[in-house]
DNA sequence: TGATTATTTCTATATTTATGGAATAATAGA
DNA sequence: TCTATTATTCCATAAATATAGAAATAATCA
């Protein structure tokens, strides 16, 4: 991944309302949620929500699909994985025991 | 981790110069690099660099320590791990095969 | 067609963030 | 103490981002 792309992805979730939306979608699985449901669940006015959903889908971290009158938004797990991968690549200068748990330096 | 804290951490690396700095430090291991070295490696003017280093260390994603005349900055791998953990928690609504590689939904 | 629902776009305003030169502070060696 | 080095703070300016009401658009169904 290119650094500019990583910045775009990070910027799309470096904002409280958008991170709330993203976390909700990450937990909601592949089906996702309709825009209106997200708005009600998080108490965000429609136009503000629309602005944030646009940011998230333009970055690529969230997918949108029309289904009858609703637009379903869902987390793009692949993009998320690539971002986490990018952040952890080549870490720790090969020091022993530097990284643990989620972050796996060398595979 | 609280959402506000996650936003702070994400904001600190959702900017090209700061992500460059952070990635350089992630790769540099626990010893880190002196501010001046970072500036030369990345071609960032001193005052701009100082502004970004402050953002990074105030968020907690980067540590600073004085060593004689130099200030060494290094990645805070623990904070980084906590952030990645936060982003992936409870993901995918328990769907089979939804997450792979870096992102490990359920442990 | 017309009404209803869902969502987006337009718009103005407010707020936050980034940049880099100049001045300042802190450290250490001669 | 004087000087060089390292790094930060101050400051003004520029640029980007967030908010939400009102209007517009799009999709569905009676």
Give B39-64 pLDDT, tens digit per residue.
999 999 999 999 999 999 999 999 99
Interface test with B, best of A10, A62, A97 (most B CBs within 10 A): A10
Answer whether residue A24 shows pLDDT above 50.
yes
Shortest distance, CA A89 to any CA of chain B (angstroms): 8
Residues of A in contact with B27 (CB under 8 A): 90-93
- In degrees, to the nearest 5, what angle opens at C-alpha A12 toward C-alphas A50 and A34? 35
Whether residues A19 and B30 touch (CB distance < 8 A) is answered with no
Average pLDDT over residues A49-68: 96
Closest in A4, A16, A28 to B93, CB measured: A28
The phi, psi pair for A106, rounded to 5°, reads: -110, 140
Kindly determine whether the C-beta of residue A55 is less than 7 Å away from any atom of nucleic acid strand D: yes
Q: Is A101 in the B-facing interface, judged by CB distances under 8 Å? A: yes
Give whole-number Cα distances, B11 to A53, A73, A82, B5, B78, in Å: 18, 23, 18, 10, 17
Higher pLDDT, B80 or A106: B80
Number of Cβ within a 10 Å radius of residue B66: 8
Report yes or no: B19 and B13 within 8 Å, Cβ to Cβ.
yes
Cα distance between residue B10 and residue B35, in whole Å: 21
Q: Scanning the structure block, which residue is given the tokens 């880190």?
A: B32
- Alpha-helical regions (H) of B14-76: 16-28, 35-42, 46-59
- In degrees, to the nearest 5, what angle opens at C-alpha B5 toward C-alphas B13 and A103? 60
Confidence of residue A94 (pLDDT cuts 50, 70, 90): confident
Report yes or no: B75 and B38 within 8 Å, Cβ to Cβ.
no
Can you give the pLDDT at residue A101?
52
Interface test with A, best of B91, B94, B95 (most A CBs within 10 A): B91
pLDDT in tens, A32-45: 999 999 999 999 99
Which residue is nearest to the C1' sugar atom of D22, using CA? A47
pTM over 0.85: yes
């Amino acid at each position: 991944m290119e650094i500019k792309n990583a910045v775009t992805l990070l910027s799309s979730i470096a904002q409280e309302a958008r991170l709330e939306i993203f976390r909700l979608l990450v937990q909601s699985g592949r089906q996702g949620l309709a825009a209106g449901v997200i708005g009600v669940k998080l108490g965000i006015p429609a136009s503000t929500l629309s602005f944030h959903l646009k940011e998230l889908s333009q970055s690529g971290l969230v997918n949108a699909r029309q289904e009858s009158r609703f637009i379903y938004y869902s987390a793009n797990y692949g993009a998320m994985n690539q971002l986490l991968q990018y952040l952890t690549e080549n870490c720790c200068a090969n020091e022993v025991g530097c990284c643990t748990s989620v972050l796996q330096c060398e595979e």
